[in-house]
Amino acid sequence: MAKYGEKAQSKVEKAMHERKAGSLRSGRSGKKVKSRKQAIAIGLSEARREGGKVPPKKSAGKSAKRGAKKSTKRSAKKSTKRSAKKSTKRSAKKTP
């Protein structure tokens, strides 16, 4: 049994032709799509939206989620350190 239906195949094919022609653009930012993988993803999402036979999107694994959590914690720590440094510099400038 096939994973993808005819609609998915035609949407991906159309997206690839648009990418080759240079007219395929991403949704939110409107930037030109250069990546082959991104063009395929756009075609599949369009087919999904129209009810074509396409498997559901893969969610991020546990390791990817863990890495994202760590990076957000690190950036939060850095931002608090920076703001503390700035406030001490400002108060030092005001006193003389």
pLDDT of residue 27: 86
pLDDT of residue 43: 93
pLDDT of residue 11: 94
Six-digit token pair at 95?
């006193």
- C-alpha R_g of the chain: 23
pLDDT of residue 86: 66
Indicate the domain borders of the chain: 6-49, 66-96
Mean pLDDT in runs of 10 for the chain (96 residues)?
A: 90 94 91 93 92 86 64 62 65 66
pLDDT of residue 33: 92
Q: What is residue 29's DSSP assignment?
A: T
Quick one: how many helices (H) and strands (E) in the chain?
3, 0
